Amino acid sequence: MKNPPRVVLVTLFLFPLIACGGGGGGGGDVGPTARVGFPASGSATDSSSITVSGTSTAGESAIAAVRVDGVDAASTDGFRTWSATVPLASGENVIDVAIEDANGAVFDDVARVQVRSGVLFENLLGIDFDSKTAWLVDSGAQALYSFDSSKGDVQLVSGDDRGAGVLFVVPFDVAVVPGGQTAYVADLGLEAIIEVDSLTGDREALLVSGDVPEITSLGGLEYDAATGTLLIITGAGRWVVDAATGASTAFAGTPLFGEQDVILNNGAVYVLGFDAIRRVDPNSGLSALASNPDTFTFATSMDVDPKFGLIYVADQGASRVYSVNPVTGEQQTILTLDRDFALFGLAFDEANRRLLVTDSARDAVLSVDPADGSGGRIVSDGVGRGLPLGDLVPIAGQDGRWFGLDRFGNFIAEIDLLRGDRELISGRTVGEGDKLKNIAGMALDLENGRVFVTDTGADRVFSVDLASGDRTVIALGLPGLGFRKPSSIVRHPDGKLLILDSLLKGIFELDPESGIQRVVSRNGDGLGEAFLGMKEMELDPIGGRVFVSEDSGIYARVLSVDLETGFRTELTHGFDGNGPTMSGAGGLAVDALGETLYMGVFLGEFVVAIDTATGERTLVSGPQDGRGPQLDQPDCLALDEERGQLLSFSAKHSAVLGVSLESGDRVVLSK
């Protein structure tokens, strides 16, 4: 996704929805009430406006108008439902919903939404600090940001939507000239060092592949204000680069494998390897250990405190921050975090005597006191608390509870959509039983306190206890028997499980209590269309059938499969002209009446609504339809009918998105 030059973090707090008399209201009448459906509390967006939708109930008099922050809402049903698009400003916003009744009485603040501005990151990596400004590189957004610690706000410095010149591809580190007008960005995708004018955002290549050998293996870079040069590390050498001309000179011999960063400290050059810090003589190339050998697990970045000469190191492998005295080699652990943190960049803020460390797992900047390790996040676009998400597929909900499978971390999490919090249910250190290897599908059975999970890595189906996280195998693949690639799974109202097996090209029924299996429909069993590239499956809650999304490699389609006969019919075809063209089948979700099926489409990254009677398709949300963070290969969909939104997962943002069925607007619900 290409972030716009202005991005917004939204935090929405829904106060009790009671009628408050205002204007001409009062007189003891029972006033109207309202409820905001979309966006949800605490959600985030990178748009400068958002469509607020909700419902209202009249008091003793009919409703004549609903106003959202002064904007008249539109309605086609007498304001039982309504929506209005309102602007969002940087900083804190309070959006009030007011109702005017047929007698002219105005009831203010029947619902209130509080909005906070901010940034939506995609993959924060490198960081540098100058005076009071931190400079942040986001490789996912292909952008350079600045964070003013005195104002507390983040601004886009350079990227696709600000500045001219060569575009970033995979920027990962930054070095800033004192004063902050010029920054140098190392870009692995371009195999180049890019000079950035922070006033205009313009970008120009200072050093490209061929100017020095093996620039594809770029390590860190450091700006030397005394000489106006850059120090950089590549796979073939250490180099001094004239920042004015781009001319490069080799120094200090051949780097050791895995050198990640370089700094200057009192005129000496120090390089950081995966395992240790070494002091390098720029004339002879000789190096000597400046830290204990083999202490770091996977060190990624370092910076120096010029007052005391201490070097601070971020170790991603150990989730730790160390201090090192390069003279004595004395080393201390300042901070130890959980292993799900991904520490990458580190910079020393001399004015405030603190370390600034990027956590790419949470897209956050941590402030760390080097004296005792205390501190917290000072930059974050996170929504909710809990473990970071990697790649949720799928998301499922029942009775107001929502769960997601993270196939990157192989765990099950419960997600609170009101607060955005995430709690580990099973996997990693929670629960006994066989380990989850490559989880793919999930079906809820909250009445019995369990979920069913398919695992394509182990060719198994698990029953997972929601209280303990314990995992029990209820079906497994054996040579010639059982499942081969069980993926999508749904639970029938009779308690049986329906499982899609993409390798066996079929749908199978499994009794979770007895383990008895039977074929529902597969190629060779059941008539009609042959299964092709089976992707996802959804149960028609009324019609006695399942819907299967398929991807031929060229087009996407949906099959309808009769559960009694196994007969397969094509419901809609991506190239049939019956709506938007579809290529790349994604996730499925169906409404409670089985009338509308929602499907994610990879090519173009959009969602369509499919009429299950006719197969007609209409666009719900996509790059040109709806505001907010873009959908990201939507192979995960769930329907939250209570709030009028779809749920999807964005791997770019490592976040659960809410997608408004009314406007197509998208917000981050949990990250």
Q: What angle do CA 398, 559, 451 make, to 5 degrees?
A: 25
Average pLDDT over residues 50-77: 95
Average pLDDT over residues 280-304: 86
For residue 22, what are its two tokens? Answer: 């205002």
Considering only 57-66, 124-133, 285-294, 315-324, which range has the smallest mean pLDDT?
A: 285-294
Distance CA 128, CA 115 (A): 30
pLDDT at 231 over 60: yes
Distance CA 563, CA 584 (A): 26
Chain centroid, CA 54 distance in Å = 26
pLDDT at 466 over 70: yes
Residue 164 has φ and ψ, to the nearest 5°, of -110, 165
Cα 319 to Cα 141, 282, 302, 334, distances in angstroms: 24, 31, 14, 11
Higher pLDDT, 138 or 48: 138
pLDDT at 26 over 50: no
Average pLDDT over residues 300-325: 95
Distance CA 339, CA 322 (A): 16
- If DSSP states are collapsed to H, E and C, what string results for 380-402? ECCCCCECCCCCEEEEEEECCEE
Neighbouring residues of 3: CB distance < 8 A, sequence distance ≥ 6: 46, 120, 122, 141, 143, 156, 159, 160, 161
Distance CA 459, CA 467 (A): 25
Distance CA 31, CA 23 (A): 13
Considering only 21-25, 340-344, 447-451, 570-574, which range has the smallest mean pLDDT?
A: 21-25
The three-state secondary structure class of 556 is strand
pLDDT at 373 over 90: yes
pTM for the structure as a whole: 0.86
For residue 95, what are its two tokens? Answer: 């959006």
Contact (CB, 8 A) for 22 and 31:
no
Contact (CB, 8 A) for 221 and 230:
yes
DSSP state of 325: -
Distance CA 600, CA 608 (A): 7
Distance CA 325, CA 67 (A): 62
Task: Supply the pLDDT for residue 254.
Answer: 64
CA 473, 478, 482, 487 torsion: positive or negative?
positive
Task: Supply the pLDDT for residue 436.
Answer: 92
Task: Supply the pLDDT for residue 21.
Answer: 32
> Which is nearest to 7 in space by CA: 137, 154, 139, 147?
154
Distance CA 631, CA 617 (A): 18
pLDDT at 11 over 80: no
For residue 78, what are its two tokens? Answer: 């007498």
How high does pLDDT run on average in the chain? Answer: 89
Distance CA 205, CA 185 (A): 9
pLDDT tens per residue, range 538-593: 999 998 999 999 999 899 999 999 999 999 999 999 999 889 999 999 999 999 99
Higher pLDDT, 554 or 89: 554
Q: Which residue carries 């707090």 as its tokens? A: 13
Cα dihedral: 27, 29, 30, 35 (round 10): -70
The three-state secondary structure class of 216 is helix
pLDDT tens per residue, range 488-514: 999 999 999 999 999 999 999 999 999
Distance CA 503, CA 498 (A): 15
Average pLDDT over residues 237-252: 84
Contact (CB, 8 A) for 587 and 635:
yes
Average pLDDT over residues 7-29: 37
Task: Supply the pLDDT for residue 252.
Answer: 59
When pLDDT is cut at 50, 70 and 90, the band that residue 9 belongs to is: very low
For residue 141, what are its two tokens? Answer: 């957004």
HSE, side-chain direction, 13 A CA sphere, residue 249: 8
Average pLDDT over residues 293-307: 91
Q: Which residue carries 């979700």 as its tokens? A: 589
DSSP string spanning 512-531? TTT--EEEEEETTBS-BSPP
Task: Supply the pLDDT for residue 204.
Answer: 96
Contact (CB, 8 A) for 94 and 108:
no
Task: Supply the pLDDT for residue 175.
Answer: 96
